[in-house]
Structure 1
Amino acid sequence: MPILNRAAELQAEVSEWRHYLHENPELLYDVEDTAAFVAQKLKSFGVDEIVTGIGRTGVVGIIHGRTKEGRTIGLRSDMDALPMVEETGKPWSSKVSGKMHACGHDGHMAMLLGAAKYLAETRNFDGSVALIFQPAEEGGAGALAMVEDGLMARFGVDEVYGMHNMPGIPLGSFAIRKGGIMAAPDKFSIIVKGRGGHAAQPHKTIDPIAIGAQIVTNLQLIASRNTDPIRSVVVSVTRFQAGSSHNIIPNEALIAGTARTLDEQVRDMTEARIIQVAEGIALANGAEVEAVYERYCPVTVNHAEETEHAIRVARDVVGDKNVDPDVDPSMAGEDFSYMLNERPGAFIFLGNGDSAGLHNASYDFNDEAIAYGISYWVKLAEARLGS
């Protein structure tokens, strides 16, 4: 069955909402105007309950079906933008200097609002749909904040589902997989403390740059020599800062980067090895080191049964050949993982077509994807709540 006729009819209106949200981006938890826009739209649709301030600035709307009795399905969208200068040249480009929706959260909100309007009109299900609009996905752990604020228990959520647009996946297509679909995006920093001096007399120094270079090289062995080849890890050094002049060996060097894993055991090993490598090489060269490993959100793990439900619904929307049920996982992170740790559910990718990549100043969400996203949300809610 193709996309819902009503979803196609809503596309122009929902695109206007998306453009407004794109023009007015807000960051992390400071999404008060965005949340107010979402709440106002939900109220205009006749959503039964609207609660603001969940996880500081999150919004939850509840739509009851033919009866309140029964299960509750949670559908989640993120709301925050990124601290970037937009370069799309679109008529709806950001009006806020240094902020833009470069990850498509404007599209995610618009699609979930479109689904909310449809579901509030039809109510072709039993039980309830919880519409979850989350702040601070971009590094602020807004999903965790909403969970810790009682999201699941307060609204009786039994299952929870998320969706994210993905450049490179064809328009009108979905992609998903069971198990780990997005990585745990951790970060690390290493300060090498040596002894500075004149560059002409390196023998009188403990050179933190030379020692740091050894650390950087050996960190790459974590992937190639410490990890099972059929399991995934990425260790990327993204900062190496030291020195102030061509003739001075400095006292310290800073190394920093990110580690991405799809398995908690590999994650534990990676953390331990980064610290061991830094401390061991520093010790061998007479230096001291401060190594810090910071964990962010967990691996985003799709539950098997709920992933099967999602696959069936996606195929109902776009056909079998346009659904990849075993897509390669992404080494990017997603804090929806916190919600999946609390309730069974699944996270799916929606094709954005041949667009610029996420977090790129030239990126823009594809309005032509809106009807597919609305149809997926509606059909998922109706399928899981026994329409």
Structure 2
Amino acid sequence: MTSPDALEAIAKEAADWRRQIHQQPELLFDLPKTAALVAEKLRAFGCDEVATGIAKSGVVGVIRGRLGAGRTVALRADMDALPMSEQTNLPYASKVPNMMHACGHDGHTAMMLATAKHLAATRDFAGTVVLIFQPAEEGGAGGRVMIEEGMLERFGIDEVYGMHNEPGRPVGSFATKPGPMMAAGDRFMITLNGRGGHAASPHETRDSVLACAHLVTAAQSIASRNTDPFDPVVVSLTHIAAGSPEALNVIPASVTLGGTIRTINPKTREDVEQRFRDIVANTARLFEVEAELDWRPGYPVTVNDPAMTQAAIAAASTVAGEANVDGNCAATMGAEDFSYMLEKRPGAIVWIGNGDSAGLHHPAYDFNDDAIIHGLRYWTTLVGQRLGSAA
């Protein structure tokens, strides 16, 4: 049994790693500094194997237990940041313009490094732990690329677990649920091409702006009138571009608009896509403009395996106490590319409380270092319970 003081010391050290990563955010698959730091730490900890260059910048560490053969359990952390400017004024704020760790992947990586240090030093389990440090979670499907490059088979992974911080949930608490945990997230871009002209003579144009306005309104009818209200669907139009503020007397010839659609049910996902396509085509026909739809399929629904979810709840309850674990939390309409791993192997993802912080993807967000010790205890307890030892 590892002493609490020893874990606290590792967690404190991990906070320094986290802040170092935070100052040098990197995007998608281009993570040379972050990946190098992770690989260096894993080798220094004494991992049995450290593999680099998976999905370009992904890193995998392997630690074998000293208690004999057993299952291979994988733990996953994401490493990439977001293309946005930080507004925290923290002493360790991002040093890279227009890049910041606004989703807490720096914290996820630090907690996993802390776990690696502890497990490599103790090895009080039977079987193997595979530590996955993944690139490109933020829109690049790095998890899918790692799978396509054979990671699951290469390391003989039997089960896989993930963790994500949740602002607003108290530090030291956890949440998860069996079944659908996070939504599928598809994106789209539309170009409406009409005939521009003078704003004083709209009858001589084919007004793409008017068509756009109707399209935005009609798209909202998908969730309000075409789907079961107990079957979650979100349609969000988030981008519109047309014309020029310097030429307000000109009806532009074209408009571009885009957004995202979130669903939980796979059949609903198919139906909503078709309904959206019909609305785009018919709205364009109604206003005599041409529509070009670029449909961009996104991450699938993140589905927790029921048995593995109970394992995650058991570990979290051991660490935090049952009162601080919500084992049937509401699903979120956010999307996660951990979903690809859960399609291939049984596992589960949990939320870990980040306290009263700004929300994810907000310029004032910062991962709460006080959560590191709780994440470390969760990971080590989960390994102990799944592979036959105590943390």
Aligned counterpart, 2:104 = 104
Aligned counterpart, 1:120 = 120
Aligned counterpart, 2:281 = 279
Are 1:84 and 2:84 matched, yes or no? yes
1:199-228 C-alpha deviation (Å, 9 max, x unpaired): 222222221111111111010000001111
Aligned counterpart, 2:269 = 267
Deviation at 1:67, TM superposition (A): 4.7
Q: Is the 8 A contact 1:2 1:317 kept in 2?
A: no
1:87-108 C-alpha deviation (Å, 9 max, x unpaired): 2122211222222111111111
The one of 364, 371, 374 equivalent to 1:372 is 374
Q: Is the 8 A contact 1:107 1:367 kept in 2?
A: yes
1:229-270 C-alpha deviation (Å, 9 max, x unpaired): 101111011122222322222222222111111121111111
Aligned counterpart, 2:290 = 288
Q: Which runs of 5+ in 2 are unaligned?
A: none
Aligned counterpart, 1:159 = 159
After superposition, residues 24-43 of structure 1 pair within 5 angstroms as: 24-43=24-43
Deviation at 1:287, TM superposition (A): 2.1
1:245-301 C-alpha deviation (Å, 9 max, x unpaired): 222222222221111111211111111111100101211232221122211111111
Q: Which region of structure 1 is more displaced relative to structure 2, 192-201 or 128-137?
A: 192-201
Q: Distance in 2 between matches of 1:347 and 1:40?
A: 27
Aligned counterpart, 1:60 = 60
Q: Secondary structure at the match of 1:331?
A: coil
Q: Distance in 2 between matches of 1:84 and 1:208?
A: 31
Q: Is the 8 A contact 1:3 1:371 kept in 2?
A: no
Distance 1:80 1:265, change over 3 A: same
Distance 1:228 1:29, change over 3 A: same
Q: Secondary structure at the match of 1:160?
A: strand
Are 1:314 and 2:342 matched, yes or no? no
Q: Distance in 1 between matches of 2:3 and 2:158?
A: 26
Q: Distance in 2 between matches of 1:334 and 1:31?
A: 19
Aligned counterpart, 2:360 = 358
Q: Is the 8 A contact 2:103 2:361 kept in 1?
A: yes
Aligned counterpart, 1:216 = 216
Q: Secondary structure at the match of 2:299?
A: coil
The root-mean-square deviation of aligned C-alpha atoms, in Å, is 1.6
Q: Secondary structure at the match of 2:268?
A: helix
Aligned counterpart, 1:50 = 50
* Greater than 6 Å deviation, 4+ residue runs: none
After superposition, residues 146-295 of structure 1 pair within 5 angstroms as: 146-244=146-244, 245-295=247-297
Q: Distance in 2 between matches of 1:26 and 1:288?
A: 39
Distance 1:304 1:355, change over 3 A: same
Aligned length: 387
Q: Distance in 2 between matches of 1:367 and 1:384?
A: 26
1:147-173 C-alpha deviation (Å, 9 max, x unpaired): 111110000000000001110011110
The one of 336, 339, 359 equivalent to 2:338 is 336
Q: Which region of structure 1 is more displaced relative to structure 2, 285-294 or 338-347?
A: 285-294
Equivalent position amino acid for 1:188 in 2:
F
1:70-94 C-alpha deviation (Å, 9 max, x unpaired): 2100000011111222221222112
Q: Is the 8 A contact 1:185 1:333 kept in 2?
A: yes
Q: Secondary structure at the match of 1:61?
A: strand
Q: Which region of structure 1 is more displaced relative to structure 2, 150-159 or 65-74?
A: 65-74
Query: Identity over aligned residues, as a percent?
Result: 53
Q: Distance in 2 between matches of 1:240 and 1:113?
A: 42
Q: Secondary structure at the match of 2:183?
A: strand
Deviation at 1:4, TM superposition (A): 4.6
Q: TM-score, normalised by structure 1?
A: 0.97
Q: Is the 8 A contact 1:102 1:363 kept in 2?
A: yes
Distance 1:285 1:24, change over 3 A: closer
Aligned counterpart, 1:139 = 139
Deviation at 1:198, TM superposition (A): 2.0
Q: Distance in 1 between matches of 2:5 and 2:331?
A: 32
Q: Distance in 2 between matches of 1:142 and 1:264?
A: 22
Q: Is the 8 A contact 2:26 2:99 kept in 1?
A: yes
Q: TM-score, normalised by structure 2?
A: 0.96
Q: Distance in 1 between matches of 2:23 and 2:319?
A: 30
The one of 276, 300, 303 equivalent to 1:301 is 303
1:90-128 C-alpha deviation (Å, 9 max, x unpaired): 221122222211111111111111111111111111110
Q: Is the 8 A contact 1:62 1:130 kept in 2?
A: yes
Q: Distance in 2 between matches of 1:189 and 1:303?
A: 34
Deviation at 1:3, TM superposition (A): 9.8
Q: Which runs of 5+ in 1 are unaligned?
A: none
